[in-house]
Chains A and B, each alone.
Chain A
Amino acid sequence: MTEVATPSITESSKQDRGAPVVRIRDLHKSFGDLEVLRGVDMEVEKGEVVVILGPSGSGKSTLLRCVNKLEEPTAGEVWFEDVMVNDPKTNINEVRERIGMVFQSFNLFPHLTAKGNVMLAQRKVLKRSKEEAERIAIEQLTRVGLDDKIEYFPSQLSGGQQQRVAIARALAMDPHVMLFDEVTSALDPELVRGVLEVMRALVEAGMTMLVVTHEIGFAREAADRVVFMDGGVIVEEGTPEDVFDRPRSERTQDFLGHIR
């Protein structure tokens, strides 16, 4: 059992590509009268890095939150590997074990140290032994460059450090896919770099990633595919070069013009 600890991200590599990890079919989501998603289709293959761009209110965060059912889709299907996430019969907790999520507001558990944050779900969900969970926690915190902050409480860490603890917390569960929901938006500009470096290292390690972000630089160099959303639908998608240098849609051009 001790060998289980090796995170899957080091095992998988870009060569294993092909198997879809996340499949989304005609996804709709409404909040009351407000229709946020109006039919989204998307597929994310193993090892693929997909960056979702779009103006605020375009539904990109909602789309991400539908993948692990933090939001319940109104219609359509969300598949994770071979289970339908929004099937009421699916044990959603088993699905979530394998989907790592990092939030804009970190959401670290303030009553636990960095190590405690990374250990909690390993112990209570994966039922790992204390020793194993601790070893993996230290390993993952080291990987995000926080080996000197293991016993710190979140309130003693900077925003960037907190966000990296949150990434370590998700990685410790050996996720098959990582969801990043505007993870650098709440950070001071000088702290963004450290978080993006951790994410780049994850890309290098072959992690399957779905990233909602406004960091065009990151999207350009790290993404395999860029998806531009507006008004609850995918307006345009393609390689970073396609979307950034030769945007076909007027809305994409307009959006890129604004953030440049």
Chain B
Amino acid sequence: MAYQFDFLAVFDYGDMLLKGAAFTLAMTAVGAVVGTAIGIAGGMCRAWKLHPLDWLFGAYVELIRNTPFLVQLLFIFFGLPSLGVQISEWQASFLAVVVNLGAYTTEIIRAGIQATPRGQIEAAQSLAMGRLQIFFHVVLRPALQKVWPALSSQIVIVMLGSAVCSQIAAEDLTFAANFIQSRNFRAFETYLVVTAMYFAMAWMVRYALNVFGRRVIVARKPQTRGA
């Protein structure tokens, strides 16, 4: 007999799915904001070789990009308590996402900073601007403009990868899926719905980042007069 699909068995747990999706999106949002902030600081230190901070960021980047996200998460959740740092599932998940994304954004933003034409920095120096003034007023915006697509992709990658946070029982969307299919025994329907939800969320996040990039990062002021 053919398999009888029963999606209602999934939608009975609609609240749980939405909560899980909200958790995943919140993690992504915090990761994007804090991770990008880390990336800006790290990218500056690395691109401008500010010793010893650039070495610290260098070690951080190598450590994160050469190890699996799941191991980083397990280390934070199970490892830190051994040092006396008590941390909940959701705290560990958020921290892991921030730490992971921060390393990748450091590399991405560093590339953008290094693409600044030397002459623009010299022009700013000639105007008696200081190092940080030059960074924030002259270098940062064009650097972010150049790497915004790469940065957006990385944020989406991390959102999808955050599914492994379900492994430490953080109640994200994947956790909800695992829980629901263990109750209704409808693995196909449950994972199909969750797959569709991840797809929609990834698409939305990408779209939102795109719009943010156009409106805020690359934005130009309207002309008051024809050029």
Chains A and B come from one and the same complex: no
Residues of B within 8 A of A (CB): none
